[in-house]
């Protein structure tokens, strides 16, 4: 029952967040210079044609009226229609979102094993050679921007060596893994140092707790204390950071999908911003925000299972 109340509370708290995201996105698109209809129909279109299209989409209505119309449709599950593709935004989300979701999950799979191994290795030998090397490599990974890392990997592994494709998504599951390895690796290289440093710090804090010495004095082995007490307690702060990292991965998809021409939501969003396709940008932003909220809710629930005091 406590978990149910916790979930309902979190869902209610997410409503103002989504409402705020919709307002900010709407105002940013309205404030962006340029006429989306002129970009859509070209310079040769007559003023009458442009006026008819603007009237069809309600773009000549007052800004407040446009927003409330958009909000009313949104509450009915209608994200609007794309100015460029002439199809409902929900159809585009259904087409492009699974690609981005695949990329994010793929990145997470590449991130977690190195984070756990490097953190444990570094924490068990603090200030040793391995610890120093891991920390230096981590700083180097953080110093290289994601877009630059994506270009370097594409150039070396895709163009020079020819091991991986540098564009597309493929048709089969194996091809998806092959095509998205470099995009996933590009974001993973940047994220791994962040989570590694966070988990290493948490491990060191827990290893210095009194309960570690108390457990070992009762005959428990160091490995058993580490596995059953130290590591689970250290995961909580890193797990909370992980929710933020997922939001970063969604935002990072805009960069890597553009660099590698991956047909996902990130590239769709960039193309739609350039084309001033209002409804697609707003819909994609809301989907990203909703995904982040769902992930944060899942992280809170998992944290509650590890430490029930969190949900009280």
pLDDT of 181 reads 93
More confident residue, 4 or 85: 85
* Whether the predicted pLDDT of 135 surpasses 90: no
pLDDT, average across residues 241-268: 86
CATH numeric code, 102-277 = 1.10.3720.10
Instruction: Compute and round to an integer the Cα radius of gyration of the chain.
Output: 24
Q: What is the pLDDT of residue 105?
A: 92
3-state secondary structure the chain: CHHHHHHHHHHHHHHHHHHHHHHHHHHHHHHCCCCHHHHHHCCCCCHHHHHHHHHHCCCCCCHHHHHHHHHHHHHCCCCCECCCCCCEHHHHHHHHHHHHHHHHHHHHHHHHHHHHHHHHHHHHCCCCHHHHHHHHHHHHHHHCCHHHHHHHHHHHHHHHCCCCCCCCCCCCHHHHHHHHHHHHHHHHHHHHHHHHHHHHHHHHHHHCCHHHHHHHHCCCCHHHHHHHHHHHHHHHHHHHHHHHHHHHHHHHHHHHHHHCCCCCHHHHHHHHHHCCCHHHHHHHHHHHHHHHHHHHHHHHHHHHHHCHHHHC
Mean pLDDT calculated for residue range 126-142: 73
pLDDT band at 43 (very low <50, low <70, confident <90, very high): low
Condensed to tens digits (0 to 9), the pLDDT of residues 61-77 reads 777 887 888 788 788 87
pLDDT-derived band at 212, boundaries 50, 70, 90: low
C-alpha dist (Å) from residue 68 to 19, 137, 223, 295:
12, 50, 59, 28
Q: What is the mean pLDDT of residues 224-253?
A: 79
Predicted TM-score of the model (pTM): 0.82
Query: What are the residue boundaries of the structural domains of the chain, listed by start?
Result: 102-277
Average of per-residue pLDDT across 152-166: 87
pLDDT of residue 177: 92
Mean pLDDT of 262-272: 88
- pLDDT for position 183: 92
Model pLDDT, residue 184: 92
CA 120 to mean position of chain CA atoms: 26
CB 278 within 8 A of CB 81: no
pLDDT at 25: 78
The Cα–Cα gap between 135 and 118 comes to 10
Looking at the predicted structure, is the pLDDT value of residue 83 above 90? no
Share of the chain above pLDDT 90, in %: 10
Q: So what's the pLDDT on residue 106?
A: 94
Q: 146 pLDDT band (50/70/90 cuts)? A: confident
Instruction: Find which of 21-35, 162-176, 212-226, 272-286 is predicted with most confidence, using mean pLDDT.
Output: 162-176
| Predicted local confidence at residue 54, as pLDDT | 74
The answer, yes or no, to whether residue 310 has pLDDT greater than 60, is no
More confident of the two residues 139 and 295 = 295
Confidence of residue 195 (pLDDT cuts 50, 70, 90): confident
Give how far Cα 150 sits from Cα of 61, 99, 109, 168, 253, Å. Answer: 42, 18, 18, 15, 11
């Amino acid at each position: 029952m406590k978990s149910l109340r916790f979930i309902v509370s979190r869902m209610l708290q997410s409503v103002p967040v989504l409402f705020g995201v919709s307002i900010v996105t709407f105002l940013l698109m309205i404030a962006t210079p340029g006429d989306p209809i002129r970009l859509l129909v070209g310079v040769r279109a007559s003023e009458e044609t442009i006026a008819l299209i603007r009237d069809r989409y309600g773009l000549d209505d007052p800004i407040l009226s446009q927003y409330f119309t958009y909000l009313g449709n949104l509450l009915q599950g209608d994200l609007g229609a794309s100015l460029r593709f002439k199809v409902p935004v929900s159809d585009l989300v259904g087409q492009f979102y699974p690609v981005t979701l695949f990329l994010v999950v793929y990145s997470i799979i590449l991130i977690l094993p190195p984070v756990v191994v490097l953190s444990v290795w570094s924490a068990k030998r603090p200030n040793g050679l391995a610890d120093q090397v891991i920390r230096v490599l981590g700083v180097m990974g953080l110093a290289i921007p994601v877009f630059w890392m994506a270009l370097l990997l594409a150039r070396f592994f895709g163009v020079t060596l020819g091991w991986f494709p540098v564009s597309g998504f493929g048709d089969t599951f194996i091809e998806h893994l092959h095509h998205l390895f470099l995009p996933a690796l590009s974001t993973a290289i940047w994220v791994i140092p962040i989570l590694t440093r966070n988990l290493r710090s948490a491990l060191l804090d827990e290893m210095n707790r009194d309960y570690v010495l108390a457990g070992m004095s009762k005959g428990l082995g160091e490995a058993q204390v580490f596995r059953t007490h130290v590591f689970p307690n250290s995961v909580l702060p890193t797990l909370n950071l992980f929710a933020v990292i997922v939001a970063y991965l969604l935002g990072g998809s805009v960069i890597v999908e553009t660099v590698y021409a991956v047909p996902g939501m990130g590239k769709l969003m960039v193309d739609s911003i350039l084309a001033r396709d209002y409804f697609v940008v707003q819909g994609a932003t809301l989907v990203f925000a909703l995904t982040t909220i769902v992930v944060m809710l899942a992280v809170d629930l998992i944290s509650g299972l590890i430490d029930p005091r969190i949900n009280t």
